[in-house]
Amino acid sequence: MAKALANRLKSALPDTIAENQMAFIKGRQINDAILIANEVIDTWKQRKIKGFVLKLDIEKAFDKISWSFIDYMLAKKHFPHKWRKWIKACISNVQYSILLNGAPKGRIKAERGIRQGDPLSPFIFVLAMDYLSRLLSHLESKGAIKGVSFNNYCNISHLLFADDVLIFVEDNERYLNNLQMALTLFEKASGLTFNNSKSTISPINISAGRTDQIASFFGFQTKFLPVNYLGVPLGGNPRSRSFWDQTIECIHKKLNGWKYSQISKGGRLTLLKASLSSLPTYQLSTFKAPVSVYKEIEKHWRDFLWGGSEDKQNAHLINWNICTSPKELGGMGISKLKDTNQALLCKWLWRYHNESNSLWKKCIDAKYTKNHQGDIPVVGRNSSANSPWNAIKKWKDWYESKISWIPNDGSSLSFWHSKWHNNIPLSLQIPRLYALSNMQSATVKEIWDQGSDDWNMKPRRPLNEREQQTWDSIKMSLPRIHNNRGMCKPTWNPSDSKKYTVASAKDIAFKESSIPKETNWEKELKHLWRSHIPQKCKFFIWTMVHQKLNTMDNIQKRNPSMSLNPSWCISCRSSNEDMNHLFIFCPFARSLWNMWSSETGTPMVNTNVKDLCLQLCRQTGRNAKNIISFNSAIATLWTIWIRRNNLIFADKDSSYLNAWEDMHSHWKLVFKK
């Protein structure tokens, strides 16, 4: 029942919860609060406004909330009486037992609070916190408190993300007294209490003495900016290394918790892509990192991938630029941080064009001056280099070169200045007609004449014959306008779905910044990564195709002191060891391949290792026979490599028959995968 009520309740929340609450509401994101908060602080700093940022911690939020307060909020929001009874039944049937010597004893009936893990609890809590949001907004509208005002259009006094409360208030005795009374009223009404030891107050353009005075008045701790808010520094400088300390420290902790030597290279690759690469993503979604941070984080990635650590440096067998290439270009599909950062920041530009009523968009529109309808605001005098939007808007031209517009009703597109036709503003396509128009700032909708079902640019004078021909030609190529199709919408050209995705943006960013490949063999490797063999085998074959395995000839090139002397094949001791000899032409390898060919019915091609692996990659997945040939060939190559390493490092030899048995066990491992 709770799940059914939760599903119904969450659909109603966007219409009843104030836009300052970002948690558990469809269409609102945690990054919205981070962006707005940093833009607020940037505005105060630029305008030299004296104010305080209060970051409040609610003590045991779910456990202390009053049931009668929940019912009061539901009633105020006009939920039916039956609904309120259902909600009360779900939250008031809680009983607790005390563990005594490991066994639960007795039952205690709860009288307040909501349960962790209950699907209803987050939505009920958001409803309750809306009381505080409405209270602060009401006081602000009456002039009782004052937060930040973006050009007298958008006012922000507070931001909420579930129980994370951030309040902005100017330094004024009346405002501060009213805020204190509002917080006390909320505590008494809801049953919730603020944890004074964890709540902080941060000054902006205010002396330390004044800050201590106000902190004592509220009973909070003084903490100077930047402070940690929702996991990122608030009010810091994204261009400084210290701004990213928390992210880099998280990477260090993650790496220190893993035993490098006990993880195969395939396992390291999986951990890097699934875990390590995701750690910076949260902060990169709102801020642009300096190049030095990209390099430092990627160095940790490289060291981990190749088995190195702070105490030990292993050879990086393959260039990092190859590793970070897409799989179809011969790489591993590891994304470069620069490309990831660019793609994540450009998502804000896509959201700007697709979200008409978001609070963060209202703040950006109010703070920065738009040049024309539908245009992305540029940063002006109201912003510093620390503003998140300052970094986001730098990708405006790149982003706009990748989108096209569906005009629909044309109400939010500038007819002359927006890129809605051939991806070039009409003011540049037909500058002569633009100069003659009396409606240079008009929208597409305003130029469209519904009465005549035609375009009317309203020139200052009658057009001459040549100008009229140009105008008629342009009109023929323009799409028709439909008033019933809603707002103008962008389409993302690089994606088949025409919707913006971070993955497609990263792919485009990489290809534009890399040197085009002259060969096509890299494309075959995508079949390797799609196969169902173990990840460590994929890594092994991938390294082999790039001809970078640690065979004696490669070791001789990298570090001659580490190679055997003479650098012959440890198996036959009759020829120098390179990959072609070790895996194909060595008598031991030939015997295994002959057995493989006899058992699979596939002829062995006398070629080099790279061509052999690429041929296998091309065949995988096409039919059952090819899958068997591919998997068994991979098992054979893996067996040869394992035997070679056992001979060198463990002085452990194996006969042809034993190696054949080992190959079968590896084959089973491949098929089990």
d(CA 129, CA 73): 9
Q: What is the pLDDT confidence band of residue 226, given thresholds at 50, 70 and 90?
A: very high
262: confidence class by pLDDT, cuts 50, 70, 90:
confident
Average pLDDT over residues 667-673: 54
Among residues 243, 242, 222, the alpha carbon closest in space to that of 234 is found at 243
Answer for the pair 234, 159: CB distance below 8 angstroms, yes or no. no
Q: How confident is the model at residue 335 (pLDDT cuts 50, 70, 90)?
A: very high
Phi, psi of 57 (to 5 degrees): -110, 125
Determine the residue type at 213.
Answer: Q
Q: Residue 610's pLDDT is what?
A: 87
Q: Determine the length of the chain.
A: 673
Tell me the three state secondary structure of residue 483: helix
Cβ atoms of residues 575 and 649 within 8 Å: no
Enumerate the β-bridge partners of residue 414.
443
Euclidean distance between CA atoms 281 and 341, whole angstroms: 8
Q: Taking each helix axis from N to C terminus, what angle separates 265-274 and 291-305, rounded to the nearest 10 degrees?
A: 150
Q: Nearest-CA neighbor of 240 among 255, 253, 225, 256?
A: 225
Higher pLDDT, 219 or 117: 219
Residue 238 in this model has a pLDDT that exceeds 70: yes
Task: Please report which residue ranges of 441-530 form alpha helices under DSSP H.
Answer: 444-447, 465-477, 502-513, 525-530
Residues 6+ away with beta carbon under 8 Å from 173: none
What are the residues whose beta carbons fall under 8 Å from the beta carbon of 574, sequence distance 6 or more? 568
Predicted pLDDT of residue 541: 92
Contact between residue 569 and residue 581 where contact means Cβ atoms under 8 Å apart: yes
Cα–Cα dist 27/41, whole Å: 24
Question: What's the confidence (pLDDT) of residue 653?
Answer: 73
Q: Over range 28-33, report the average pLDDT.
A: 96
For strand 221-222 and strand 95-100, is the pairing parallel, antiparallel, or unpaired? Answer: unpaired
Tell me the C-alpha distance between 601 and 523, whole Å.
Answer: 27
Q: What string of DSSP letters covers 373-404?
A: TTPPPPP-TT--TT-HHHHHGGGHHHHHTTEE
**From the CA atom positions of the chain, what is the Rg in Å?**
32
Which among 132, 115, 124, 118 is positioned nearest to 54, based on CA atoms?
132
Maximum mean pLDDT: which of 190-199, 409-418, 488-497: 190-199
Mean pLDDT, residues 168-172:
96
Q: Which of 107-111, 423-427, 459-463, 591-595 has the lowest mean pLDDT?
A: 107-111
Q: CA-CA distance, 29 to 97, in Å (whole number)?
A: 37
Rounded average pLDDT over 617-626: 71
Assign residue 609 a region (left: φ > 0; alpha: ψ between -120 and 50; beta: otherwise): alpha
Which of the two residues, 136 and 405, has the higher pLDDT score? 136
The residue-averaged pLDDT of 302-325 equals 84
For the cut 90, the answer to whether the pLDDT of residue 485 exceeds it is no
**DSSP code of residue 356:** S
Backbone angles phi, psi at 150, to 5 degrees: -85, 95
Look up residue 184 and give its two tokens: 């006390």
Tokens of 36: 């707005």
Q: What is the pLDDT of residues 336-391, one digit of tens each?
A: 999 999 999 999 999 998 888 899 999 999 888 755 455 677 765 556 778 999 99
Strand partners, 531: none
Confidence bin at 654 (pLDDT 50/70/90): low
Burial class (CB in 10 A: 0-12, 13-18, 19+), 356: exposed
Are the CB atoms for 467 and 436 separated by under 8 Å? yes
Q: pLDDT at position 478, please? A: 87
In the structure, what pLDDT confidence band is assigned to residue 313 with cuts at 50, 70 and 90? confident
In DSSP notation, 281-326 reads HHHHTTSPPPHHHHHHHHHHHHHHHTT--SS------S-HHHHTS-
Residue 336 phi, psi dihedral angles, 5° rounding = -70, 140
Beta carbons within 8 Å of 593's beta carbon, 6+ residues apart: 584, 604, 636
- Note the pLDDT tens digit of each residue in 272-289: 999 999 999 999 999 999
pLDDT of amino acid 26:
92
- pLDDT above 80 for 132: yes
Segment 455-459 shows an average pLDDT of 87
Choice between 398 and 514, residue whose per-residue pLDDT is larger: 398
At residue 259, the 3 state secondary structure works out as coil
Q: Which residue has the tokens 């893996």?
A: 638
Taking residues 613-633, report their average pLDDT: 77
| Joined tokens for residue 623 | 């039919």
What is the distance between the alpha carbons of residues 438 and 441, in angstroms, rounded to a whole number? 9
3-state SS track over 37-68: HHHHHHHHHHHCCCEEEEEEEECCHHHHCCHH
Half-sphere exposure of 43 (CA within 13 A, CB side): 26
pLDDT grade for 301, boundaries at 50, 70 and 90: very high
